[in-house]
């Protein structure tokens, strides 16, 4: 049973650039959430996608956007990168339709460094 | 606002000793409660969760946690720590159920294990 996968593992960008991170949910899961974990902190909720729509959003600027595809995989896009965007970006999936909707399973994360 | 407090930033125990990691939450109703573990450079692994029922819940790797409503606490315990338990531990709260699940995390407790 494949767990949550994310790509790439690491990424280095410069200020002002744009980045796209990718996530494939756990098999059978239909909901994807994204979190940002800055160094030494707990993860912070960015947004959640279900049925290809963003249905909940945390306190992040519009520079952060996402997409969910028909196969439930998801992308996180960040525009106009700032140094403060350097963090571990975690994807989590859950199963809305199957009864375990409240348990989120996390991927290994993408480490983004902005120079 | 909902919040999660992990009072201990860093804890060191000897291998074989018992462990208790503290977690307090601030929320009007009883939320769903989780403990996750994160090894260096890795994503989050679910240790255990509490939704309702028996207030003592068992998890993986020999961990257990006890929900105490009167203290708004959900402390994680292990009777005998192994060197491989060295990691960062996060307590999380899910204020809503049935979808729209935005996890709120504490800042984490880093556990070091002495041989």
**Is A108 an 8 Å CB contact of chain B?**
yes
Is the pLDDT assigned to residue B99 strictly greater than 70? no
In this prediction, residue B53 has a pLDDT band, given cuts at 50, 70 and 90, of confident
What is the structure's pLDDT at B96? 65
Residues in chain A: 115
Interface test with A, best of B43, B47, B57, B59 (most A CBs within 10 A): B43
For the segment A58-88, what is each residue's pLDDT rounded down to a tens digit? Answer: 999 999 999 999 999 999 999 999 999 999 9
Contacts of B69 (CB under 8 A, 6+ apart): B30, B55
> Of B44, A74, B111, which Cα lies nearest the Cα of A65?
A74
**B112 Cβ contact list (under 8 Å, min separation 6):** B10, B11, B12, B13, B86
Q: What is the pLDDT of residue A105?
A: 93
Question: Tell me, what DSSP letter sits at residue B108?
Answer: -
- Per-residue HEC secondary structure of A34-75 comes to EEEECCCCCCEEEEEEECCEEEEECCCCCCEEEEECCCCCEE
CB–CB contact A101 B104 (8 Å)? no
pLDDT of A3 over the 70 cut: yes
Per-residue confidence band for B9, with pLDDT thresholds at 50, 70 and 90: very high
Contacts of B41 in chain A (CB under 8 A): 111
- Interchain contact B101–A (C-beta under 8 A): yes
Contact in structure between A48 and A31 (CB atoms under 8 Å): yes
C-alpha–C-alpha distance, residues B2 and A14, integer Å? 35
In this complex, do A56 and B107 lie within 8 Å of one another by their Cβ atoms?
Answer: no
Q: CB within 8 A of B9, min separation 6: which ones?
A: B107, B108, B109, B110
Q: What average pLDDT does the structure give for chain A?
A: 94
Whether A8 shows a pLDDT value over 60: the answer reads yes
Whether the Cβ atoms of residue A25 and residue A72 lie closer than 8 Å to each other? yes
Percent of chain B with pLDDT over 70: 94
pLDDT at B102 over 90: no
Structure tokens at A66: 């996402």
């Amino acid at each position: 049973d494949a767990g949550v996968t994310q790509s790439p593992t690491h990424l280095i960008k410069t200020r002002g650039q744009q980045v796209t991170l990718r996530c494939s949910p756990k098999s059978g899961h239909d909901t994807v959430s994204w979190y940002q974990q800055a160094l030494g902190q707990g993860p912070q909720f960015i947004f959640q996608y279900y049925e290809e729509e963003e249905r909940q959003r945390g306190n992040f600027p519009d520079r952060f956007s996402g997409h969910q595809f028909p196969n439930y995989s998801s992308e996180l896009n960040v525009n106009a990168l700032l140094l403060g965007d350097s963090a571990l970006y975690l994807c989590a999936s859950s199963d809305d339709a199957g009864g375990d909707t409240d348990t989120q399973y996390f991927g290994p994360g993408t480490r983004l460094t902005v120079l | 606002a909902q919040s999660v407090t992990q009072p201990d930033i860093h804890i060191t125990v000897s291998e074989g000793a018992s462990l208790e990691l503290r977690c307090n939450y601030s929320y009007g109703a009883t939320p769903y409660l989780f403990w996750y573990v994160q090894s260096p450079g890795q994503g989050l692994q679910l240790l255990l969760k509490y939704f309702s029922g028996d207030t003592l819940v068992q998890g993986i790797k020999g961990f257990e946690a006890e929900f105490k409503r009167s203290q708004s606490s959900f402390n994680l315990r292990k009777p005998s720590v192994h060197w491989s338990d060295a990691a960062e531990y996060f307590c999380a709260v899910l204020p809503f159920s049935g979808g729209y699940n935005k996890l709120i995390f504490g800042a984490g407790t880093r556990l070091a294990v002495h041989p």
